Amino acid sequence: MLFLLTLSSASLNLTFYYGEGCPHCERTSATLLGLSGDYNLSIESKEVYSIPQNRQEMLDLYIRFGLDPSDPLHTGVPTTFVGNRSLVVGEISTARWQEIFGYCLNGSCKEGVFTEDYFSPMEEKDISSQLTLPVLVGAAIVDSINPCTIAVMVMLLGVILLSQGRKQTLIAGIAFSLTVFVMYLLMGLGIFRVLASYELQNAFFVFVTIAALVLAILEIRAYFSYRPGLLAVEMPIFLRPYAKKAMAGAVSLPGVIFAAVLCSLFLLPCSSGPYLMVLAMLSKSMTAQALSYLLLYNLIFILPMLIITAFIYLGKTKAEDVNELKERYIREIHLLSGLILFALFLLMLGQVMGWY
């Protein structure tokens, strides 16, 4: 919440390219200064006639936005770069500036070129097309069979089964799984919203790309040298007593839902690796396909919880047997997780380096 409050007070960054003695630039500068208080603008002015470095920077922006730098009809000063997404070429009216800033305040700064009466959107790459279904499903499966996820579920069902029987175990398992689904979906959509509103996609994408490599190395290392609570995609030791305490108190339906909410917050730090990788890739393009991928990921994430619930309800297995199976194959789980994370890292690195 503090992070979101900090973001809400962030200023809108503008880079204003002008030429000394240009009357259009002087009027545009005065307009921007007049609007700076209303829209919390942070304006960096760069003179291009006498400073070659600034001029080249402006020309590079034209190329980025698909403009011909040698075309005098569609380029020239004043040029203003808004919110790291919108390029405004020429002198425009105050009403037009208010329209552009309104987009940004609503969390949807448009990527493209604005003039007085025209907007030319950039052709966006849909990064979700690079995130193939096999990779998405693989990442979701790795996340869903995460050791700490299974441990939390087994603790819950064991408590309910002993205290209230199989019928309540079934209800509790379904309620717990659906609550985790809703919580993870809301947290994912929240990250989507923050990234879209404050133009953090690129920085977040680079950060998570690096994190993907680090987590992949840690997960593969866990296969060869495993210790409980190892710094990898697993719940840290110090969080486990809190999760266990939350599970022990889940003896009613409201208690199960409350425990699921708490455990979603516990699970996110320890199983956020694959989820954040997928969110970083999907956040580059807020399309219907990206949102459908997010829904699919979270459905797969809770699938083992529902399967475990069904098996225990039908008497096909015991909570202790599930926990024993998890411990037996915990190294292989970490190895599979590391390989999937490394595949995601390669996909994201290709995007960062511009290979596709």
DSSP structure string for 248-312: HT--SHHHHHHHHHHHHHHHHHHHHHHHHHHHHHHTT---HHHHHHHHHHHHHHHHHHHHHHHHH
Whether the ω angle into residue 78 lies within 30 degrees of 0, i.e. cis, is yes
Q: Is residue 239 part of a domain?
A: yes
Reported as a single tens digit per residue, the pLDDT across 18-36 is 999 999 999 999 999 999 9
**CATH code assigned at 59:** 3.40.30.10
Q: Do 186 and 330 reside in the same domain of the chain?
A: yes
Angle subtended at Cα 308 by Cα 307 and Cα 310, rounded to the nearest 5 degrees: 65
Instruction: Look at residue 34 in the predicted model and tell me its pLDDT.
Output: 94
The separation between CA 52 and the C-alpha centre of its own chain, rounded to angstroms, equals: 38
Please list, in sequence order, all residues whose beta carbon lies within 8 angstroms of the beta carbon of residue 326, skipping any fewer than 6 positions away: 147, 150, 151, 154, 333
Q: Which of 94, 121, 148 is the last residue of a domain?
A: 121
Whole-number CA gyration radius for the chain: 26
- The pTM score is 0.56
d(CA 258, CA 250): 8
Instruction: Look at residue 59 in the predicted model and tell me its pLDDT.
Output: 92
Instruction: Look at residue 53 in the predicted model and tell me its pLDDT.
Output: 94
Mean pLDDT split into 10-residue runs, the chain, 356 residues:
44 93 95 92 95 93 88 90 91 93 79 88 55 74 70 68 74 86 85 61 75 83 73 60 64 76 67 70 65 86 85 74 73 80 80 63
Q: Do 180 and 310 reside in the same domain of the chain?
A: yes
d(CA 333, CA 352): 28
Is the CB of residue 331 less than 8 Å from the CB of residue 226? yes
Residue 253 tokens, joined: 């339906």
Q: Is residue 4 part of a domain?
A: no
Q: Is residue 3 part of a domain?
A: no
Q: Is residue 2 part of a domain?
A: no
Q: Do 229 and 279 reside in the same domain of the chain?
A: yes
d(CA 335, CA 216): 9
Q: Do 207 and 340 reside in the same domain of the chain?
A: yes
DSSP-derived letter for residue 124 is -
Is the CB of residue 57 less than 8 Å from the CB of residue 69? no
Give the domain extent around 32: 11-121
Q: Do 149 and 181 reside in the same domain of the chain?
A: yes
Q: Do 263 and 330 reside in the same domain of the chain?
A: yes
Q: Is residue 1 part of a domain?
A: no
- Residue 147's alpha-carbon distances to 225, 228, 229, 341, in angstroms, are 16, 10, 10, 16
Q: Do 25 and 146 reside in the same domain of the chain?
A: no
Q: Which of 121, 143, 161 is the last residue of a domain?
A: 121
Q: Do 271 and 174 reside in the same domain of the chain?
A: yes
Q: Is residue 172 part of a domain?
A: yes
How many domains, the chain?
A: 2
Q: Do 68 and 148 reside in the same domain of the chain?
A: no
Q: Which of 121, 137, 168 is the last residue of a domain?
A: 121
Q: Is residue 228 part of a domain?
A: yes
* Residue with tokens 């309104």, as numbered in its chain: 102
Q: Is residue 114 part of a domain?
A: yes
Q: Do 174 and 203 reside in the same domain of the chain?
A: yes
Q: Do 163 and 298 reside in the same domain of the chain?
A: yes
Q: Do 313 and 259 reside in the same domain of the chain?
A: yes
